[in-house]
Amino acid sequence: MTSTVLRTGILARLTLAVRPSYGPLVLVDRSAASLVHLASWCKFFSRSMSVQTGFTVPPPKSLQQPLSVPKRLLLGPGPSNISSRVQEAGGRQIIGHMHPEMFQIMDQIKAGIQYAFQTTNNLTLAISGSGHAAMEAALVNVLEPGEAVLIAMNGVWGERAADIGERIGAKVQKLVKTPGESFSLQDIEKALVQHKPVLFFITHGESSTGVVQNLDGIGSLCKSHNCLLLVDSVASLGGAPLFMDNQEIDILYSGSQKVLNCPPGTAPISFNERACQKIFNRKTKPTSLYLDMGWLSNLWGYDESPRKYHHTSPITCLFALREALAILAEQGLENYWKLHQENAEYLHKGLEDLGLKLFVKDKSMRLPTVTTIAVPEGYEWKDITNFIMKNYQIEITGGLGPTIGMVLRIGLMGINCTKANADLVIRALKDALEHCKKSKH
């Protein structure tokens, strides 16, 4: 039997609250208890507590020091640096995730996403998670086991979408292109006719290869084949023209940590009425409760019924996202698109003047936000990125997925998209090429 002794009162009077492992709480007045009885209880309590609080893991020494975070310029494919305004918004004291004021902020976020996506879709929200979570949310809510999905695969994001589709139990069909290439309407129509999918996935900004996909005509093509169009715009939103409604995109998602200069942790997503019909008339439950649009649509005010608790939202991340979308709205999408295109071209010229080769040959297919360079012959890509990090505190990265070992990736996104940063990374690359040893093979 274990006991808990609770002391209450002041010096003049001491009351003991004794609770055995079973039975009611017993109050014992010190004045009525013998000192011997009291001593025995205290001795028993001491032994009991020593057993129950026998710590085997000491406090980590690393956590007894102040948090240390280096200052770096993030010029990779993401995340990007956060603006002071967004950082300040994210640092505010939280409120409850089900407070009316929080719902107002969520409504403002919804309006901001509608502007960024150029859509009037009612089912527009931010997933609690990264762009991966939004990708999975789209696929698990639309697809049911046994249904056919067609994945346009010219980089890592098509690979990830195919993986998720397989986990759902869908019949995954792949339309494959070599990394660095994009898809034509003829490519897509041929595959739609052959596989008859209920959903077609394609990436607008393929950050692993540096390709931007022309989306014009794909939506109407999918509609004519009774197929929903799902587009990944994580790396392109705000940096390249995108019109969800006019381009007849049924489902569109993005991320917070790139052009929006927001901390990772929220992912904008939107579904049109065609997609909603598919989602809310499915025969089986989505394979994820956390990402179930039946719950999330209510939480974000889609059906105008009282909002119900589903999960605890990342409140400070939503504060930051709200502010990032406000900045985008203030500065204007067209200005953002122009800025990213002009500075990307400026960077491209500087890289070519340095003797480096751009990975994407066709200028019209180059993603404005993420530039890919073929790894210079004779160099190890890690030597270059490590040198630049060590000597300049600048992050650029190597390839991802099918482009590992093939490319270096440079990101100019949001507040980082400046000619000064382009000049800085060019100078750092020039220095790295002069100091890094060439490999022997």
The total number of structural domains that make up the chain: 2
Q: Are residues 355 and 339 in the same domain?
A: yes
DSSP 365: G
Angle at 367 between CA 142 and CA 215, to 5 degrees: 45
Q: Tokens 């003829």 sit at which residue? A: 186
| CATH code of the domain in which 366 resides | 3.90.1150.10
Quick check: 283 and 144 in contact, CB under 8 A? Answer: yes
Phi and psi angles of residue 110, each rounded to the nearest 5 degrees, phi first: -55, -45
Model confidence pLDDT, tens digit, residues 155-175? 999 999 999 999 999 999 999
Q: Are residues 392 and 244 in the same domain?
A: no
Residue 53 domain flag: no
| pLDDT reported for residue 41 | 58
| pLDDT reported for residue 304 | 84
Domain boundary among 304, 331, 358: 331
Domain boundary among 278, 303, 331: 331
Model confidence pLDDT, tens digit, residues 167-205? 999 999 999 999 999 999 999 999 999 999 999 999 999
Q: What is the mean pLDDT of the chain?
A: 91
DSSP 437: P
| CATH code of the domain in which 275 resides | 3.40.640.10
Q: Are residues 347 and 227 in the same domain?
A: no
Q: Are residues 119 and 214 in the same domain?
A: yes
Other Cβ atoms within 10 Å of 85 Cβ, number:
15
Model confidence pLDDT, tens digit, residues 359-387? 999 999 999 999 999 999 999 999 999 99
Q: Are residues 321 and 408 in the same domain?
A: no
Other Cβ atoms within 10 Å of 24 Cβ, number:
7
DSSP 30: G
437 pLDDT band, cuts 50/70/90, is confident
Residue 203 domain flag: yes
Angle at 241 between CA 143 and CA 219, to 5 degrees: 35
- pTM of the predicted model as reported, rounded to 2 decimal places: 0.87
Quick check: 130 and 255 in contact, CB under 8 A? Answer: yes
Alpha carbons within 13 A on the beta-carbon side of 412:
28
**427: annotated binding-site residue?**
no
- For residue 352, the enclosing domain spans 332-435
Residue 228 domain flag: yes
Q: Is 171 exposed, middle or buried (0-12, 13-18, 19+ CB in 10 A)?
A: middle
Q: Are residues 199 and 145 in the same domain?
A: yes
Q: Are residues 266 and 353 in the same domain?
A: no
| pLDDT reported for residue 19 | 46
Domain boundary among 331, 365, 395: 331
Q: Are residues 337 and 326 in the same domain?
A: no
Tokens of 224: 């004519």
38 pLDDT band, cuts 50/70/90, is low
Phi and psi angles of residue 248, each rounded to the nearest 5 degrees, phi first: 55, 45
Q: Are residues 302 and 426 in the same domain?
A: no
Mean pLDDT to the nearest integer, 199-218: 98
14 pLDDT band, cuts 50/70/90, is very low
| pLDDT reported for residue 4 | 43
Q: Are residues 200 and 297 in the same domain?
A: yes
Residue 241 domain flag: yes
Model confidence pLDDT, tens digit, residues 60-110? 999 999 999 999 999 999 999 999 999 999 999 999 999 999 999 999 999
| pLDDT reported for residue 325 | 99
Q: Tokens 């990307």 sit at which residue? A: 344
- CA distance linking residue 73 with residue 78, whole number of Å: 11
Percent of the chain with pLDDT over 90: 86
Residue 161 domain flag: yes
Residue 52 domain flag: no
Edge-first strand order for the sheet with 407-411 is 370-374, 407-411, 397-398
pLDDT of 119 higher than 50: yes
Q: Are residues 323 and 339 in the same domain?
A: no
Tokens of 101: 């004021």
| pLDDT reported for residue 51 | 55
Higher pLDDT, 72 or 440: 72
Quick check: 400 and 235 in contact, CB under 8 A? Answer: no
- CA distance linking residue 261 with residue 394, whole number of Å: 16
Exposure string for 111-142, b = 16+ CB within 10 A, e = fewer:
ebbbebbbbebbbbbbbbbbbebbbbbbbbbb
Tell me: cis bond preceding 79? Omega within 30 of 0 counts. yes
**Among 19-28, 37-46, 112-121, the range of highest mean pLDDT:** 112-121
Model confidence pLDDT, tens digit, residues 379-415? 999 999 999 999 999 999 999 999 999 999 999 999 9
Quick check: 251 and 222 in contact, CB under 8 A? Answer: no
Q: Are residues 270 and 255 in the same domain?
A: yes
- CA distance linking residue 313 with residue 95, whole number of Å: 11
Residue 249 domain flag: yes
Residue 171 domain flag: yes
pLDDT of 11 higher than 60: no
Strand partners, 19: 4
Model confidence pLDDT, tens digit, residues 260-317? 999 999 999 999 999 999 999 999 999 999 999 999 999 999 988 999 999 999 999 9
For 300-356, where are the alpha helices, taking DSSP H only?
Answer: 315-331, 333-353
